[in-house]
Structure 1
Amino acid sequence: MLQSKIDAPGSSFPIASSREAMDALVGIVRRQMPVFIITIGCIGLLALAYLLTTPSKYAASGLMLIDTRKVQLVQQQQQVVGDAPMDASSVQTQIEVLKSENISLAVIKKLKLDEDPEFIGTGGGLLTGVRSLFSQFLPPPAEPSQYRLQRNALRYFEQNRLIARVGLTYVMELRFTSTDPEKSARIANAIADAYSVDQLEAKFQATRNASVWLQERIQTLRSQVATAEKAVVDFKAQNNLVSSNGRLVNDQQLSEINTQLVTAQAASAEAKARFDRIQEVLANPLAEGIVNDAQRNEVIVKLRQQFNELQSRESIWAQRYGRDHLAAINLRNQMQEIRRNISEEYQKIAQGYRSDYEIAASREAALRASLATVIGETQSTSQSQIQLRELESNAQTYRTLYDNFLQRYMESVQQQSFPITEARLISPAAVPLVKSEPRTLIVLVIAGAFGVIASFGIAFLREFSDSAFRTTAQVEETLKATCLGILPALSLKAAKRSGPAPKPDQRLISVADSINSYVVDAPFSPFTETLRSLKVNVDLAPHRQSNSVLGFTSTLPGEGKSTISSNFAELVAHGGARCILIDADLRNPTLTRSLGPHAKKGLVELVAGTAKLEEVLLRDDRTGLFFLPTGDTRRIVHTAEFLGSEGMHAVVQDLRQMYDYVIMDLSPIAPVVDARMTTRFMDSYIFIVEWGKTKADVLEHAIANAPEVYDKILGVVLNKADMRKLGRYERGRSDYYMQKYYGRYGYLTNDRA
């Protein structure tokens, strides 16, 4: 029967907190430490082999400025085509020019790199060495042509050259990598020189071509200018057009009168606005800040002040004695007199505004009459003026073109005699003192990082591909049954001989191999303590009867079920209970070979009725345990039917009445079906799983084929655990834990389990 149904998560290693995650990660590292050492070591050796076999290379770098500013002589000249400030795309264009084959081939020819073994592929190296070993067995290669040598040198040159812009500046970094440090610096500087020469040649050729074309164009423009200017002079003479300072007299008069008329119109409008405003003010002379002249008039200002004082006093008298009081009436009469005086002052100001407006209007009318006269005179010569302006415009256009082309021609002539380039080497490449390739530290760091990553990958692959049972959580998740304990693996040193083998006529258990009675020899060991915990679980089982029939089984042979069943029976008997151990594994009677090799009869004869119980039982005189061997199984062909027979059932029922515990060592459930036939009389099963060996898929398949056994499973025991490794999977279950805490009671023996 099942003891618990645990809804475990899908993972075999559930992690609920960061602390558990860290513990799991540390556990993986500790468990897979050989993988880490081997993987990191192999990658480290490959990195060292790479460092030892790769030839050292040296990178020389120089800085070249593409400066758009000219020297002072050139700054005084007008910019010609191509001298505009450079933008980002122009700088990128110059980078591509530096990378062009023209520059590269110029450097190769100058330094004769097509004859250098490093560049044409005949230098040292691993591939060349291997090729030389087989050269005697191969036909001699054909002599490469000069073109092929040059292309090979160009390919190697471009692979080891680096040209890049420094940030957002106009500075370019020229870098070249070579096995010879001096050669790398020489080539880097040669790239800058080749670029400067290429730019100078390109500018010289462009200027030369432009000069030839400009000279031809200037001759044409010179004749066109002379013709256009002569046409202007002839037209003026024919139409009697008099000009002053380049303009006709009528045009000058018309412009001046227009200017004066605009000024007169503005003055007239301003005077009329002031006059209109004073007329509005006369309706309310006491309004505040409405006419600037009124605000500057001292008489009006004083009268306003007197009016405000009288108004204030009148308000006070009217509130105290009423508006009909004589004093209030007198005050209002005085206020009326002051208002009349203010109005008279405003009338004087209005008369001045009227006079100004009449004068401005008269001047405007006179200017309009003069303008009409001049316009009449100008209309008579308007058609002639239009033709004159067209002729002057053509002459001016030709003159401007002629002057511009003449200036550019002079500049091109000067540039031919004084060529300059925007590029200059601001930091020549120096001979490097330290190799740039291979970078030992970076290679080692990358190898170490890759080794760690690969180690973790392999470790995690091994971890998650490991389906063997190693923790109680895995057992409970797979079987949905309680894990009753984890038993340590017993070493051969634990199987101490405790006495001589019994004689054939004695009804005693053999103690030649005491691994089956280890609990008696080491009563205070962790192994024995775990079996005590198992007994407590058996005694506290919810449906346990007073006399229990308990079966021990496993998935596959060799998982230790016989050893555990024997030791459990010895522990129970040593505690004073009446206990009998039955070897019911008729296919492979391991307990019979160990505890009763001298027995002639056993369970087979007892069930068949050919022997009595007292004739087949063996006894351990140290613990009082009774053992029932299998007997002669050679005649039993159908062992499953034998275990499920009525005779077997009757024998078990009789033993249940005689003993407190009936413990049966059964066959494993995966290879044979014998254990399934015992469910008829079995109270519960203890399922044995070998730690680190039993696969989850095998166990699940076996359990699925034996549902009768599964329904009566009391619990699972993990056997043969490596207690040193167990602590890496489950905290608190390691050998260190057992010795540190269990040993405080003074009972821990020197035997390790």
Structure 2
Amino acid sequence: MSKTFSFELPSQVPAEAETTGNAMPTDLKSLLGTVYRRFWLIAISFLTVFMLVAYVTFTATPTYRSTAVVQLDTEQQNVIDLGSVLSGLVASTAVIDTEVMVMQSKSLLTKVAEKQKLDEDAEFNWTLREEKPGMFDGLKRQIKSLFGMSTAKKDPFAGMSVDERNAAIEDAVVGTLMSKVSVGRVGTTYLISVTVTSESPETAARLANAVADQYRVQQMETKLDATRRATEWLTDRTSALKSEVEDKENRVAKFIADNDMETAMGGTITEQNISYLTTQKTQAEVELNRARSRYDSLQRQIASGAGVDGISEVLESQLITNLKQQLSSVRSRVEDLKTRLGPQHPELIGAMAEQDDIERQIQAEMQRIANNLENEVKVKRDQVNRLQGQINQAGSKLRGNNLANVRLRELQRDAETSRILYEEFISRSKETREQSDLIEPDAIILSNASVPHSPSAPRTKLNLLIGAVLGGILGAGLALLAEMFDMKISSSEDIEKKLGVNAIGTVPLIKTSNALGFGQMNPADYLIENPLSAFAESVRYLRAAIAFSDLDSETKTVAITSSLPDEGKTSLTLALGRMSAMSGARTLVIDGDFRRRQLTDAAGLKPEIGFIEYLFGAGQLSDAITKDPKSMLDILPLSLTGHTPHDVFGTRAFDDLLVRLRSMYDLILIDTGPLLLMAEARVVSGKTDKAILVVRWRHTNRSAARQSLGLLKSFKADLLGVTLNMVNLNRRRHYRDPGAGYDAYRKYYQIETKPSLFGFKWKSAGKKDDGSVRPKAIQTPPSLAEHSSEPPEKVDAE
């Protein structure tokens, strides 16, 4: 099964541990511990930065600085005021900063480079320098030859024409000059300093003065050029405005003519015509009303049945009068004939016919009079309508004239504006031509640059001091960064504050070897040989923690597990079992790591019937349990063929075994596999009274331990606590651990022992060849190597 590891960043630390997590050390002891732990990182960083600064300082070419000061003249006076055309500088920060940028601009410095012929100076023209072999040139050539690359130097101007080559050199010269020129404002004054750095003191002074002088010359040229361009522009503009004024005045006159907008007697012709037509219309309407009244009266009289004598219009007709006389005479004659003649008399009939004819003529005349009145009304009406049409037509024309008046006034204003502008430009053109002889620059050179007598750089002492400070800062920063990203568990305080669980002791690292030279001594064997050692005392403390873990009920079954392999849980389980058995308690240790069976190997057992065989009914429990040859401990080992793919701890047989073993033993320890790699370890942890998580000092990652604690919680395991294993007592004092260091253990456990079977004995502390104190340890034969904590597989059986 492959191992998996996770890397935890500081931001992943739980909220409850952030206040005391990987925070930067604040007290003196923590700082000294950090310095001790990261000494080589700090030292290498310091020496690297310091030596680099020293090398650059002592190999740098001395340079000289010279400064010229320019004063801006903000009170320039013009004899003729030209407004913004030729005004002096305005006293504002923005303007002064702009002038600073102008003085160090590429255009100005290009003119300085041309006038000073800097392309002939090797300091500025790199093509004139003699090439010196660099420190790594030989190495570069060897590397290129190794990879089959050409070692011949490439021509940077390959493929360029002569003009392009000269332009490239000129750009390089100007770029070098720009890097050597520094322009800045002096405080909040109107003074600007021009500082030039050069390898030659004379060149530095010469170029500083040249830049200041070129700035004044450029100001003069700029103003003269502006005056010249202003004069030319004003002349051209005046001529254009003259033509524009003439054109606009012609447009006004043409618009008046096209729209009949000529005026007479204070008003337009259209307005006078409308007034005349309105008068005519009024008269026509009066006549129309009179005719309509007569016609309406005639119609009413006719409709009412009035006779000829009752109609006034008829009475005025001479013809009607004559007809009425004739009718009266005929009627008299008819009446006379009726009295004298019979009704069929021809004379009477003729007289009656004449009477009817006269009456018809009267009616016809009356109708003719009515028709004449009606025609007169129509004529008068038509006359009024015609006049109204003429008035409407004139009104439309007048409205058009009003709209045209708006356009006319616009054209007149435009023409007037152009005329005023034309006159202003004529005046400004004359002023500009007069002012061209009075132009002065806006700056004066307050002080010229002098030739410096001593170099300004490099400043050896200051550079070395800066290098030392930067080296120290870098080393300290890297050390603190390494501390912040250190995710390893280093102390009981880390367990309690960063993992949030109880810490139940720390087990020291054993530095010893087998006396016979047949390999490393097992920690459980070391416990037998040294029952009063610090290691034995830590195991004894762990046993006491188990015994007093629960005062209400007896703790008999304990699962001892770890997050990953090589954390020492197997050796610690065997040592804890032996310590319990040596104390008189009936103790059983079960090897529950089916894949590696390390506890069985550590105890030196090779059983044919073991834990698996018993669970699956292949043997008796008495046959499977083996007595530890070095103590009174009982061990339930794993046989060589004991690996099984089945879930052992989840079976009913295992539950029955635990019940049976509880009645037989005082303490049952189960060595499980790693929690993050084996599911069996999680199951068995939930079935025991207590569970102990073993973490290895400065080896176990906090994220792995936190994941293991989460798994134990999810399987409802009763966690007794976390044990910190394989602690290097000599190095632990440099970590934030309230526990005792190596010196305290050495003083307390410093005893004289008889030579053991393997020839070991304690010896007093001495000094190493380098003068440092050598901690007390077990004296071993000269042929044996000291057992160290690295690599982990040489320290523990796991």
Contact in 2 for aligned 1:51/1:440 (Cα 8 Å): yes
Match of 1:625 in 2: 632
Paired with 1:88 and 1:582, the residues of 2 have a C-alpha distance of: 89
* AA partner of residue 43 (structure 2): I
Residue 139 of structure 2 is aligned to residue 113 of structure 1: no
Deviation sequence 1:531-558 (CA, Å, 0-9, x none)? 2221221121225755723332222222
Offset of 1:183 from its aligned partner?
1.4
Offset of 1:37 from its aligned partner?
3.5
Offset of 1:20 from its aligned partner?
5.1
SS at match of 1:534: helix
Match of 1:296 in 2: none
Deviation sequence 1:453-508 (CA, Å, 0-9, x none)? 555555455444443333334433565431101222223x155569x9xxxxxxxx
Contact in 2 for aligned 1:185/1:432 (Cα 8 Å): no
Paired with 1:31 and 1:140, the residues of 2 have a C-alpha distance of: 59
* AA partner of residue 675 (structure 1): A
Deviation sequence 1:27-69 (CA, Å, 0-9, x none)? 4444334433344444445545655676443222234556899
Q: Compare CA radii of gyration and give the structure with the larger one.
A: 2
Offset of 1:13 from its aligned partner?
6.3
Contact in 1 for aligned 2:491/2:737 (Cα 8 Å): no
Offset of 1:690 from its aligned partner?
1.9
Match of 1:566 in 2: 574
Offset of 1:665 from its aligned partner?
2.2
SS at match of 2:195: strand
Contact in 1 for aligned 2:697/2:724 (Cα 8 Å): yes
The structure 1 residue matched to 2:669, chosen from 663, 666, 673, is: 663
Contact in 2 for aligned 1:494/1:751 (Cα 8 Å): no
Deviation sequence 1:373-410 (CA, Å, 0-9, x none)? xxxxxxxxxxxxxxxxxxxxxxxxxxxxxxxxxxxx9x
Alignment of 1:378-527 (within 5 A): 423-424=444-445, 426=447, 428-436=449-457, 451=471, 454-455=474-475, 458-476=478-496, 480-491=500-511, 493=512, 495-496=514-515, 513-527=521-535
The structure 2 residue matched to 1:613, chosen from 622, 627, 641, is: 622
Deviation sequence 1:556-609 (CA, Å, 0-9, x none)? 222111111111122222223333333333332212212233544444455536
Q: By percentage of residues, which structure has more helix?
A: 1
Paired with 1:609 and 1:164, the residues of 2 have a C-alpha distance of: 96
The structure 2 residue matched to 1:529, chosen from 522, 537, 558, is: 537
Paired with 1:604 and 1:102, the residues of 2 have a C-alpha distance of: 92
Match of 2:144 in 1: none
Contact in 2 for aligned 1:55/1:125 (Cα 8 Å): no
* AA partner of residue 725 (structure 2): N
Gapped runs of 5+ residues in structure 1? 1-6, 71-76, 209-408, 501-510
* AA partner of residue 550 (structure 1): V
Higher mean C-alpha displacement, 103-112 vs 18-27: 18-27
Sequence identity percentage? 22
Higher mean C-alpha displacement, 35-44 vs 122-131: 122-131
Figure out how many residues of one structure are paired with residues of the other and give that number.
525
Match of 2:734 in 1: 728
SS at match of 1:728: coil
TM-score, with normalisation over the residues of structure 1? 0.57
Deviation sequence 1:44-99 (CA, Å, 0-9, x none)? 455456556764432222345568999xxxxxx99999999995678668756755
Contact in 2 for aligned 1:601/1:629 (Cα 8 Å): no
Paired with 1:176 and 1:459, the residues of 2 have a C-alpha distance of: 41
* AA partner of residue 732 (structure 2): L
Higher mean C-alpha displacement, 177-186 vs 22-31: 22-31
Offset of 1:14 from its aligned partner?
0.6
Contact in 2 for aligned 1:484/1:534 (Cα 8 Å): yes
Higher mean C-alpha displacement, 712-721 vs 651-660: 651-660
Match of 1:230 in 2: none
Paired with 2:708 and 2:628, the residues of 1 have a C-alpha distance of: 35
Paired with 1:729 and 1:166, the residues of 2 have a C-alpha distance of: 54
Paired with 1:100 and 1:609, the residues of 2 have a C-alpha distance of: 96
In structure 2, relative to structure 1, the CA distance for the partners of 1:722 and 1:101 (3 Å cut) is closer
* AA partner of residue 574 (structure 1): M
Contact in 2 for aligned 1:495/1:518 (Cα 8 Å): no
In structure 2, relative to structure 1, the CA distance for the partners of 1:448 and 1:665 (3 Å cut) is same
TM-score, with normalisation over the residues of structure 2? 0.54
Deviation sequence 1:78-128 (CA, Å, 0-9, x none)? 999999999567866875675577864664344322322333442449899
Paired with 1:666 and 1:84, the residues of 2 have a C-alpha distance of: 92
Contact in 2 for aligned 1:516/1:567 (Cα 8 Å): yes
In structure 2, relative to structure 1, the CA distance for the partners of 1:551 and 1:93 (3 Å cut) is closer
Alignment of 1:234-313 (within 5 A): none
In structure 2, relative to structure 1, the CA distance for the partners of 1:78 and 1:712 (3 Å cut) is closer
SS at match of 2:16: coil
Paired with 2:23 and 2:683, the residues of 1 have a C-alpha distance of: 45
Paired with 1:739 and 1:617, the residues of 2 have a C-alpha distance of: 35
Paired with 2:99 and 2:614, the residues of 1 have a C-alpha distance of: 106
The structure 2 residue matched to 1:59, chosen from 57, 60, 65, is: 65
SS at match of 1:175: strand
Paired with 1:490 and 1:420, the residues of 2 have a C-alpha distance of: 88
In structure 2, relative to structure 1, the CA distance for the partners of 1:615 and 1:573 (3 Å cut) is same
Contact in 1 for aligned 2:69/2:194 (Cα 8 Å): yes
* AA partner of residue 533 (structure 2): S
* AA partner of residue 627 (structure 2): L
Offset of 1:15 from its aligned partner?
6.8
Higher mean C-alpha displacement, 193-202 vs 573-582: 193-202
* AA partner of residue 626 (structure 2): L
Match of 1:695 in 2: 701
Paired with 1:603 and 1:680, the residues of 2 have a C-alpha distance of: 19
Contact in 1 for aligned 2:560/2:694 (Cα 8 Å): yes
The structure 2 residue matched to 1:177, chosen from 197, 219, 224, is: 197
Paired with 2:473 and 2:601, the residues of 1 have a C-alpha distance of: 52
Paired with 1:184 and 1:170, the residues of 2 have a C-alpha distance of: 23
SS at match of 1:188: helix
Match of 2:600 in 1: 592
Match of 2:41 in 1: 35
Paired with 1:731 and 1:706, the residues of 2 have a C-alpha distance of: 26
Residue 641 of structure 2 is aligned to residue 634 of structure 1: yes
Match of 1:557 in 2: 565
Residue 560 of structure 2 is aligned to residue 541 of structure 1: no
* AA partner of residue 502 (structure 2): T
In structure 2, relative to structure 1, the CA distance for the partners of 1:206 and 1:701 (3 Å cut) is closer
Contact in 1 for aligned 2:675/2:681 (Cα 8 Å): yes
Paired with 2:226 and 2:621, the residues of 1 have a C-alpha distance of: 126
Paired with 2:23 and 2:226, the residues of 1 have a C-alpha distance of: 75
Paired with 1:19 and 1:152, the residues of 2 have a C-alpha distance of: 51
Paired with 1:443 and 1:648, the residues of 2 have a C-alpha distance of: 74
Paired with 2:225 and 2:614, the residues of 1 have a C-alpha distance of: 121
Paired with 2:568 and 2:476, the residues of 1 have a C-alpha distance of: 34
Match of 2:777 in 1: 751
Deviation sequence 1:158-205 (CA, Å, 0-9, x none)? 332223333344544231112222211222234445567778999999
Offset of 1:522 from its aligned partner?
2.5
Offset of 1:619 from its aligned partner?
3.8
Contact in 2 for aligned 1:586/1:633 (Cα 8 Å): no
* AA partner of residue 134 (structure 1): K
Paired with 1:99 and 1:679, the residues of 2 have a C-alpha distance of: 77
Paired with 1:487 and 1:571, the residues of 2 have a C-alpha distance of: 14
Offset of 1:446 from its aligned partner?
5.6
* AA partner of residue 540 (structure 2): R
Deviation sequence 1:639-677 (CA, Å, 0-9, x none)? 533x45555455544443343323332333332233345
* AA partner of residue 61 (structure 1): T
Give the aligned CA root-mean-square deviation in angstroms: 5.2
In structure 2, relative to structure 1, the CA distance for the partners of 1:144 and 1:526 (3 Å cut) is farther
Paired with 1:615 and 1:68, the residues of 2 have a C-alpha distance of: 108
